[in-house]
Chain A
Amino acid sequence: MIYREVGDFKTTYKDDGQTFPIKFDRLRYYVVLAIAFAVVPFLVNDYWLNAILLPFLIYSIAAIGLNILTGYCGQVSLGTGGFMAVGAYSCYKLMTGFPDLNIFFCVLLSGFVTALVGMLFGLPSLRIKGFYLAVATLAAQFFLVWLFNKVAWFYNYSASGQINAPERTILGYKITGAETSAPVTYLFCLVFVVLLAIVARNLTRGHLGRSWMAIRDMDIAAEIIGVNPLKAKLTAFGISSFYIGIAGALLFAVYLGAVEVGEVFGIQKSFLVLFMVIIGGLGSIFGSFAGAAFMVLLPVLLKNILVGQFGWATDIAAHLEFAIVGALIVMFLILEPHGLAQLWRIIKEKLRLWPFPH
């Protein structure tokens, strides 16, 4: 009843091809956007921003990026942490090398730099597949972290090897640095998330996305029907890395402010984003958001319940957190291998018929 298609007639091809063909879906989307842009900025405080919203938004971008590569194009990548590091370090070099450059363009440009690096590391994907490709991207992960630790130029020869984001503003509002206000940084990241999500959604519905999916489903068959594997795979690597690079740049510049490559962009970050994609649902933009929300919110929620409400010892809570998150991941993979996105799809199907399922 809620999700009704009956009476929602499409009279033009344009209408039929829009992103959300169901009216209710479309409305819901506008409502979510309106709340995110017009309501949340007035409610957000430092804790909500730093503990929940910023990580959620930033990891959503990274998850969309990895989803393009792994979910849509079927190329397994364990190099996400390394590519995020590329984004962070190029953002740092751009910020310090061109102090007058607007931070928005710094972040955008670091995405392009990461795209180039990603395409470079994507070249082996033309020859190797599956586990072997995973190992090759794993090599990228370790190589990039090592590089940023080893070559002092990347961290401007600072004694500690850390990079610190200097203060940058847009229209007088502080985006990076210590004295930022919560709504401003939130909106800054939100703009990136919304723009990138719209682009991703439309890319995956178009020619490029279809060629990625063809490669994912069976690369030989795709080649026979005329999909160029070189182009498909390299664009997937490039665009995916672009997203991941932007996520890395935002993580460094807006969220953390100071970064140490080995600790922040280590292999565990690659796994974290991969878990987000798997739990959220491979090959789904909504799934990327759901997965990011799940992995960011659940530990914070568990901590607040176990320590804040029950008053348990912090170490027991931390260990339990690992166990519970782990168990939930396993449970999800068994009960719903297609992730949270599939659950959402099932709910939608049910709602279409509700309350008359027969």
Chain B
Amino acid sequence: MKFKTLTAVALATMMAAPPAFADLVFPSLSYRTGPYAANGIPFADGYEDYFKLVNARDGGIGGEMARVIECETGYNTEKGVECYESTKGEGALVYQPLSTGITYQLIPKSAADGIPLHTMGYGRTSAANGKVFNTVFNYPANYWNGASAVVNHLLEINDGDIEGKTLALVYHNSAYGKEPIRTLEELSKKHGFELTLLPVDHPGQEQKSQWLQIRRERPDYVTMWGWGVMNATAIQEAANIRYPMENFIGVWWSGSENDVRPVGAKANGYKALNFHGIGDDYPVYDDLKEYVYDKGEASGAGDQAGTVLYNRGLYAAMLAVEAAKKAQEIHETGDITPAMMRDGMEALEITEELMTEIGMPNFGPAFKVSCENHGGPGLASVNQWDAEAGAWTQISDFSESDMEVIGGLIDEDSAAYAKENKVEEACS
């Protein structure tokens, strides 16, 4: 009998849905555990804090309170699917899984359920073609912009000529790490540099052989598509073989404080891309302090404010909030549905004035989303780590990537997807 009651209680717990509120739901598929937690925590904290700020300062979005439901994925696709299914029933407006693997799972589901997916700087790059990927957005920049930005930076420091130079790509051996390969291959043909591919298996703590190869072949430059524990390990290995740090450039996912700090002074000079501002010298941080931190409401341990990935979380949340406002404006209702949210995202326009108004002047580029372009302008800057000051410094302006090469690749890849899944190219 006891066992039966226990089962009954257990079943009731699983069935019981939390009470429904009439508010705007933003699920946060975060990962605060596992080998990717070092990077997952700051993003999740920033994402949640921004919504707390909006609720406390502005009384919600257009009068509707925002509610963040957090669900732990551990960067695992199976758990990610479980999280998606368990939160979508609560009226989730937009998903930001912060994982390329989970994004690939969710793309068909999001199309079927009509819930938009925003994969900022990750996910499937060809989702930039909104004619095929109706519900998926990856503004303001994608992997291929990143790959091109690395090469552009090399061109810049070599006075426009990298013919015959060698570039090694150290990448996470997954969909995420493989994304830039095609672009880098095209670019290597165009600019005449040699590309070496060095895959690192999940989770990325074992990289001795890859760095032995780099030590032996001494490529002129190394670029990295790493995430989680792989980042710090790679930078440590590079320091161990005394690879010149200024020739080592990570993508924006390999450029947070948590990646370089463990290596200490030897990480000095390491470069990484970024597509938004760094540091906490923005008016929005004053508001955050007043409305969130000082009230003891900061998410997580509250120690991530001002870091690169925390800023990225803020940025992601800010773009979601602005898109929701846009959706409310278009549909003239406060209580928007996922479909309305999608329209808001597609009509999103971020201007300098708007950024200043919300306390994030020059935090990111001004851009406009359209049905043809879900990918934004693809601008990226290069940051460099100053180990002594313990801070990143921006060493180049936000600059354009080689859209000639990337545009062609996006069309090719999205056309392949459209054909495979029988999607008709159309703008609604």
| Interface, chain A (partner B; CB < 8 A) | 46-47, 49-52, 55, 149, 159-162, 164, 166-167, 177-179, 256-258, 260, 262-264, 266, 300-301, 303-305, 307-309, 313-315, 317-319, 322
- 10 A-B residue pairs with Cβ-Cβ distance under 8 Å, sorted by A, are A47-B86, A51-B82, A166-B420, A262-B202, A309-B16, A313-B32, A314-B32, A314-B71, A318-B33, A319-B33
Most chain B Cβ neighbours within 10 Å, of A160, A258, A304, A317 = A160
B residues near A263, Cβ cutoff 8 Å = 76-77, 101, 174, 202
Q: Is B421 an interface residue (CB 8 A)?
A: yes
Nearest CB in chain A to that of B201: its residue: A262
The smallest C-beta distance from B80 to any residue of chain A, in angstroms, reads 10
Q: Which residues of A contact B182 (CB under 8 A)?
A: 159
Contact of B101 among A49, A55, A260 (CB under 8 A): A260
Q: Does B422 contact A (CB under 8 A)?
A: yes
Given contacts A51-B85, A304-B14, contact A256 B78 (CB under 8 A): yes
- CB-based contact B420/A260 at 8 Å: no
Residues of B within 8 A of A55 (CB): 78
Task: Name the B residues within 8 Å of A258 (CB-CB).
Answer: 77, 104-105, 107-108
Query: Any chain A CB within 8 A of the CB of B81?
Result: yes
Q: Which residue on chain A has the smallest CB distance to residue B14?
A: A304
A178 in contact with B111 given A304-B13, A318-B72 (CB within 8 Å): yes
Cα–Cα, bound, A303→B14 (Å): 9
State A164–B417 Cα separation when bound (angstroms): 10
Answer whether residue B181 sits at the interface, using C-beta atoms and an 8 A cutoff: yes
Q: Which residue of A lies closest to B80 (CB)?
A: A256
- Name the residue on A nearest B81 (C-beta): A50
Asked if B313 is an interface residue, CB under 8 A from chain A, the answer is no
Additional A-B contacts beyond A49-B85, A263-B76 (19; CB < 8 A):
A46-B85, A46-B89, A50-B81, A50-B82, A51-B85, A149-B199, A159-B178, A160-B104, A177-B108, A178-B421, A179-B112, A256-B105, A258-B107, A258-B108, A260-B101, A262-B201, A309-B16, A315-B33, A319-B33
Q: Which chain A positions have C-beta within 8 A of B10?
A: 301
Would you call the interface of chain A mostly helix, strand, loop, or mixed? Answer: helix
Is B413's CB under 8 angstroms from A318's CB? no
Residue of chain B at shortest CB distance from A161: B178
A301 is contacted by which of B14, B81, B420 (Cβ under 8 Å)?
Answer: B14
Chain B hits for A264, CB < 8 A? 77-78
Q: Does B70 contact A (CB under 8 A)?
A: yes
Residues 73-101 of chain B: 1 if any A CB is under 8 Å from the residue's CB, otherwise 0? 01011100110011011000000000011
Nearest-Cβ distance from residue B112 to partner chain A, whole angstroms: 4
Given contacts A51-B82, A264-B77, A308-B13, are A164 and B104 in contact (CB under 8 A)? yes
Name the one of B88, B175, B413, B421 contacting A167, with C-beta atoms under 8 angstroms.
Answer: B421
Expressed in whole angstroms, the Cα–Cα distance for A160 and B181 within the complex equals 9
**Interface Cβ pair total, 8 Å cutoff:** 113
B178 touches A315 (CB 8 A): no
Are A314 and B179 neighbours in the complex by a CB distance under 8 Å?
A: no
Partner of B81, one of A178, A256, A305, A315: A256
User: B131 at the A/B interface (Cβ < 8 Å)?
Assistant: no
Q: Min CB distance, A62 to chain B, in Å? A: 14
* A317 CA to B14 CA, complexed, in Å: 16
A258–B85 CA distance with the chains assembled, in angstroms:
16
Is B109 part of the binding interface, using a Cβ–Cβ cutoff of 8 Å? yes
Q: Which of B1-47 contact A (CB under 8 A)?
A: 10, 13-14, 16, 18, 30, 32-33, 37, 41
Checking A300, A308, A313 against B82 with a beta-carbon cut-off of 8 angstroms, the contacting residue is: A300
Selected contact of A160 from candidates B76, B111, B175, B421, CB within 8 Å: B175
Nearest CB to that of A166 among chain B residues? B420
Given A177-B108, A318-B72, CB of A309 within 8 Å of CB of B13: yes
Residues of A within 8 A of B181 (CB): 159
Q: Quick check: B70 and A314 within 8 Å, CB to CB?
A: yes
Determine which residue in A162, A166, A167, A309 has the highest number of CB atoms from chain B within 10 A of its CB, and name it.
A162
- A-B CB proximity, top 6 nearest: A178-B108, A315-B32, A160-B175, A314-B72, A178-B112, A318-B33
The 8 A CB mask of B212-250 against A (1 = contact, 0 = none) is 000000000000000000000000000000000000000
Question: When chains A and B are docked, how far (Å) is the Cα of A51 from the Cα of B14?
Answer: 11
Report how far A179 CA is from B114 CA in the complex, Å.
11
Report Cα–Cα, A257/B421, bound state, in Å: 12
The answer for the CA separation of A178 and B135 in the assembled complex, in Å, is 13
- Complex CA gap A311/B182 in Å reads 44
Q: Find chain B residues with CB under 8 A from A257 CB.
A: 105, 108-109
B326 part of interface (Cβ distance < 8 Å): no
Q: How far is the CB of A151 from chain B (nearest CB, A)?
A: 13
Asked whether, in the complex, the Cβ of B86 is within 8 Å of the Cβ of A51, the reply is: yes
- Note all chain B residues with C-beta closer than 8 A to A315: 32-33, 37, 41, 72, 300
- Contact call B174/A159, Cβ cutoff below 8 A: no
Taking a contact as CB atoms under 8 Å apart, the answer to whether A159 and B420 are in contact is no
- List the A side residues contacting B82 at CB < 8 Å: 50-51, 300
The docked-state distance in angstroms from the alpha carbon of A167 to that of B423 is 12
Most buried by B among A50, A161, A178, A263: A263
Q: How far is the CA of A179 from the CA of B108 in the complex (A)?
A: 8
Using Cβ atoms and an 8 Å threshold, which residues of chain B touch A167?
421-422
CB neighbours (8 Å) of A166 from chain B are: 420-421
Give the complex CA separation of A262 and B182 in angstroms.
20
Q: Is the CB of B18 within 8 A of A308?
A: yes
Closest chain B residue, CB of each to CB of A162: B175
Give the docked Cα–Cα distance between A114 and B171 (Å): 30
* Most chain A CB inside 10 Å of its own CB: which residue of B105, B111, B181: B105
Determine whether B124 belongs to the interface, using a CB cutoff of 8 Å to chain A: yes
Bound CA span A177–B109, Å: 9
Closest to B109 in A: A178
Taking a contact as CB atoms under 8 Å apart, the answer to whether B420 and A262 are in contact is no
Question: Closest residue of chain B to A268, judged by CB?
Answer: B76
